Amino acid sequence: MSQPVTAINHVASSLAALVAAHRVASRGERRWQENANCLGVDPDLFFPERGASTREAKSVCRGCEVRVECLEYALAHGEKFGIWGGLSERERRRVRRQRALDRRNAIGA
């Protein structure tokens, strides 16, 4: 009976190693958040109701030293809601469309 227990322990330790590696990678990918102006600010500010003002959230982002990293994270991960890198969902869609157009033009040139 020790054979199956050993196999289960091996699978469990492999899974634990995989989860730990993913956590380390995720932390590294989002290390910029540790320097964000919004750290400690109520997250609801960055996810306003439809039609509500985004001015206050954008003012927090305006002077943020990691604004570009935040925006690039949102664009790379398809964040569809909230203010990221100082831009609303609509503004990020425009950036994605413009970048896609720029890539097509660069290929066609």
Q: What is the pTM of this model?
A: 0.70
Mean pLDDT per block of 10 residues along the chain (109 residues) reads 48 42 54 95 95 96 96 96 97 96 87
For residue 42 the two structure tokens come to 């109520």
How many helices (H) and strands (E) are present in the chain, helices listed first? 4, 0
Contacts of 63 (CB under 8 A, 6+ apart): 37
Three-class SS of residue 24?
helix
> Rounded to the nearest 10 degrees, what angle do helices 67-76 and 89-108 cross at?
80
pLDDT of residue 61: 97
pLDDT of residue 93: 97
pLDDT of residue 42: 96
Three-class SS of residue 79?
coil
Residues in the chain: 109
Contacts of 62 (CB under 8 A, 6+ apart): 86
> Rounded to the nearest 10 degrees, what angle do helices 55-62 and 67-76 cross at?
120
pLDDT of residue 16: 44
**103 vs 109: CA distance, rounded Å:** 10
